Structure 1
Amino acid sequence: MYKYLSGVFLLFISLHVCAQQRATPKIKILLLGSVHFNPSTQDVYQNKQINLTDRQGQVQLEQLLAQLSQFAPNQICIEVPTQKQSKIDSAYQQYLKSQYKLGTNEIDQIAYPLAKRLNLPTVTCVNYRGSFDLDAVTKYAKENNQTAQLAALDQFAAGTAAGIVAAQQEKSITDLFRFINSNEELTKNAAIYTAYATRIGQGSDYPGTDLVANWYSTNLHIYTNILRAIRPTDKSIMVLFGYGHITILKHLFQSNPDFDVVDVADVLKQ
């Protein structure tokens, strides 16, 4: 009888804990992949520069910000290393006082104005710079008769970048964000690593796979930085990051039961 009651009690406790867990609202997270408005010189395949400071650009930007503000994130996470948080805090406070001239990059054009609209105290730095040695992969391919695999990677990546450039020329900034955050484009970008880089290497050598492993490691660290930044009162988070990061980040947050990943298309509606 004692064992029976103990079992019932433990079952009750288990059901109670599960009910409490289910009752806790999930944090909504919007992973907004972006091209870099000012392309990095470190990127092998680059999009064209985006400048939204003219009148037409500001009109388009207003349309984008209006839709993003409806999501109403409690935090906006940006692609800046965590070590630079104090610098970002200072710049943002100057911006709020009209003492900071916005640059043309996506952080200044999107993150700062959106945070101001939402009365957020700052934007949150969550980037992590890991190892990414593409030169070593290229060198290995050339020295080990794998130039065909290297050429295939280059052709596919260049074609993907060309598609982004074409979209820049044809679409408004909101439509561009919809495009690059579509499953098709995110999959194309991820395939550069999973379908092409991993082909470089043979026998006991895995230079391409090691490159991809380091890329995953970088994104795992970014994911952890986002988790560390979340406060108990946060109900929704927006992450503004280079769109090449999004596929991995999306997988990580979709596998975390504390989060509800919001589709960009559901926020940036046509």
Structure 2
Amino acid sequence: MAKLTVLITLFLLATATMLQAQAPIAKKKILLIGSFHFQNPGLDVAQVNTFNVMTEKSQKELEQIANKIQKFGPDKIFVEWSAAKQNTLDKFYNLNSDSLLRSSADEIVQVALRSAKKLHHTKLYGIDNRNSEFPYDSLVKGMKDAGQDALLEANEQNMKNYEIESNRKRKTYTLTKLLLDLNGKDYVDMDLQWYLNIANRAGKPDNGVGAYLVSEWYKRNLYMYALVQKLTESKDTSVMVLLGASHAAMFREFIRHDPQFELVELKSIL
């Protein structure tokens, strides 16, 4: 009887160990927010009108958004700030918050810093990596040299449509609606399709200018995503990532294939 009891005990322990090993690991939640640059210096290829986030109406919206982020409760907030300049970001974060919120329209201040202060975080995490190129002028030249007139026309029309639609929305949408739109399926599909359907095709067969631009864009975003993976600790249950919308579109693909993370849509918390 004693031997049988020991065998049963060992069997139960082995079964429990096996079940524990097979138990799914709880995924960490990522609230991904793709944004336009509130304080746009005009460096983007597409040139669109500014949207004043410093109005009383937009400031109220930003407070509401930050309150919803606070309720979500991310353990860390990652932003589009050079990772190599984290010390500068730390000093910036420790400046007078009220003064920054009144003087700086930057989305890192208005969304990330505002939210982080409500959460009593001690810092923001910079993840941007600028060791890559975006040779747009060379891309267009490659199309011209290859006689890709239809592709050139498609690219110009794509850019024109984007600028027209963006300017229309910035005249009629609230700030909240603009952000929800940038995180919606239509925008994400449009953004990713430009890289694969237009940019990647550019150039003669022996000229990989298009593929080079696309690969450099992937490279930049992969380096950024790697920092989110590395800086998210085992104790963290959720994080937030605030990036330009085109970066966020790429991040969605990474998260979708990363078994350790679960995407949280902006619309689900607002």
After TM superposition, the score normalised by the length of structure 2 is: 0.88
Correspondence for 1:208: 210
After superposition, the C-alpha distances for 1:179-198 in whole angstroms (9 at most, x for unaligned) are: 11101111111111111112
SS at match of 2:96: helix
The equivalences for 1:141-152 within 5 A come to: 141-152=143-154
Distance in 2, matches of 1:28 and 1:12, equals 28
Q: Deviations over 1:161-208 (max 9, x none)?
A: 322222121111111111111011111111111111122123232211
Matched, 1:172 2:201: no
Q: For 1:28, what is the secondary structure of its paired residue?
A: strand
Change (3 A) 1:211 1:66: same
The residue correspondences of 1:103-114 to structure 2 (distance < 5 A) are 103-114=104-115
**How many pairs align?**
257
CA contact (8 A) 1:35 1:243 kept: yes
Question: What corresponds to 2:7 in structure 1?
Answer: none
Cα distance, 1:11–1:141 mapped onto 2, change above 3 Å: farther
Report what 1:266 is aligned to.
268
Question: What is the root-mean-square deviation of aligned Cα atoms in Å?
Answer: 2.1
Structure 1 CA distance for aligned equivalents of residues 156 and 238 of structure 2 = 38
Question: Which letter maps to 2:53?
Answer: L
1:5 matched to which residue of 2? Answer: none
Q: Which residue in 2 is equivalent to 1:76? A: 77
Q: Compared with structure 1, are the counterparts of its residues 230 and 267 closer, same or farther at alpha carbon in structure 2 (3 Å cutoff)?
A: same
Paired amino acid for 2:63: E
1:134–1:211 contact (8 Å) kept in structure 2 = yes
Correspondence 1:87 to 2:91: no
- Give the structure with higher Rg (CA): 2
Supply the AA of the counterpart residue of 1:16.
Q
Deviations 1:9-31 (A, max 9, x none): 99986543222xx1x32110011
Letter of the 1:107 partner, please give it: I
Does the 8 Å CA contact 2:38/2:53 hold for their aligned counterparts? no
Shift of 1:247: 2.1
Identity %: 27
- The residue aligned with 1:134 is 136
Gap runs ≥5 in structure 2:
1-12
Equivalent residue letter for 2:121: L
**Which amino acid is 1:197 matched to?**
A
Q: 2:269 and 2:47 mapped to 1: Cα distance?
A: 26
Q: Relative to 1, partners in 2 of residues 1:52 and 1:42: Cα closer, same or farther, differing over 3 Å?
A: closer
1:142 Cα shift? Answer: 1.9
The match for 2:159 is 157
Whole-Å separation in 2 of the counterparts to 1:225 and 1:161: 32
CA contact (8 A) 1:79 1:241 kept: yes
Alignment of 1:1-270 (within 5 A): 15-19=19-23, 22=24, 24-96=25-97, 100=100, 102-129=103-130, 130-268=132-270
